[in-house]
Amino acid sequence: MQNYVRGEILAERYEVIEEIGKGGMASVFKAKDIYTKTIVAVKVISLDIVTKPVGQERFEIEKEAFAKLGSSPYVVKLFDVIQSGSEWLIILENIDGGTLKDKYQQFGAMTLSEIKYYFPKLCDALELAHKLGIIHRDIKPDNVLLTKSGQVKLSDFGISVMEGFNSELEKAIGTPKYMPPEIIAAQKPTPQSDIYSLGIMLYEFATGIAPFIHKEPKKIAIKHINDLPTYPRLINPSIPQSLENIILKMIEKEPRNRYTSVAEVKRDILKIKSTDIVKQYNYHNKASISTGQRVKKVRVGTYYSKLPFVAKNRFSILLSLFILAFIIAFVSVLVFV
């Protein structure tokens, strides 16, 4: 893939201002349309990527997803797709306010009012995508762009699931920190898969920390399948109980126990009040995870909760035995002395 510098012209129309992103399959440049004088983002994909089966499919999925979702104010807009020499260019709306990840790293956990501002809009974007048969599969703060006025724009549909594209349908791909158990188990994603990832984001933004963390991505994936998330209010007691309940339902291990749609998530988020008095949600402690042709029964919990009774209560048992021995010795002294 060719490197472009400031001032170079792409496709005889787009003057490069600067590179704003680079990945394994593409580079993204901020550029000026010399005809309309507008600023755009140009995603450059080299021919050797597009000619590979996986690269070709991801390219087709991304441009089709952007095109289908053009009516949403909360999705990055597609302007054009151009072949220029040996490269393909995807011309997109330029969003220059950073990402939700940038905002989180700068300011930390969100307030309730911020959550009620950002997350319903993401629900709207995903609701339209799901109605059109598109599963994003990579919902994370990095893929939520912000305009300078604070509007959210969902981006990066390269590994999305869409009808007619099947080569990566049942692959464990995505970002481990936000991946649902069924995708980790290489199962077909559903709208509930996006709900799970959005729930992990909501947990992180409400508490200031993700529910499952580890230095090794594989260990994070295992935690998504096996571990019980710490209830958010134990980390941030200022969270309303109703918000904690929403988060826990979104990140249930089994898709059938989550919300049936992002519209329901949006409805419940907008209903949250800081003074809510509601019953605590009971997170399911058992789950069935499909792995190929097998269904794996999982007992969800913490490392401590999964210990055998004796191991978990070793101190109490030893203390009881010590007290019992002391009482026997004391009684023996009274009787025989």
Asked which of 247, 267, 284 is the last residue of a domain, the reply is: 284
Q: Report the CATH number that the domain containing residue 59 is assigned in CATH.
A: 3.30.200.20
90-133 per-position pLDDT tens digit: 999 999 999 999 999 999 999 999 999 999 999 999 999 999 99
Q: How many structural domains is the chain composed of?
A: 2
The residues carrying an active-site annotation are: 138
pLDDT, position 275? 86
Whole-model pTM over 0.75: yes
As beta bridge partners, residue 301 has 227
61-87 per-position pLDDT tens digit: 999 999 999 999 999 999 999 988 888
Range of the domain at 257: 100-284
CB atoms within 10 A of CB 324: 10
Q: Report the CATH number that the domain containing residue 237 is assigned in CATH.
A: 1.10.510.10
Q: Kindly report which listed range (31-45, 48-62, 171-185, 232-246) carries the lowest average pLDDT score.
A: 48-62
CB atoms within 10 A of CB 218: 10
Assess contact for 9 and 34: CB atoms under 8 A. Answer: yes
Asked which of 53, 76, 93 is the last residue of a domain, the reply is: 93
Domain-located, residue 299: no
pLDDT, position 313? 61
Pair 129, 274 in one domain:
yes
pLDDT, position 209? 96
pLDDT, position 301? 56
CA-CA distance, 255 to 184, in Å (whole number)? 13
Residues of the binding site: 43
Please give the residue that has the higher pLDDT: either 22 or 38: 38
Domain-located, residue 314: no
CB atoms within 10 A of CB 299: 11
Distance of CA 43 to the CA centre of its chain: 23
Pair 234, 115 in one domain:
yes
Residues of the binding site for ATP: 43
User: Which band of pLDDT confidence, cut at 50, 70 and 90, is reported for residue 299?
Assistant: low
246-284 per-position pLDDT tens digit: 999 999 999 999 999 999 999 999 999 988 889 999 999
170-184 per-position pLDDT tens digit: 888 889 999 999 999
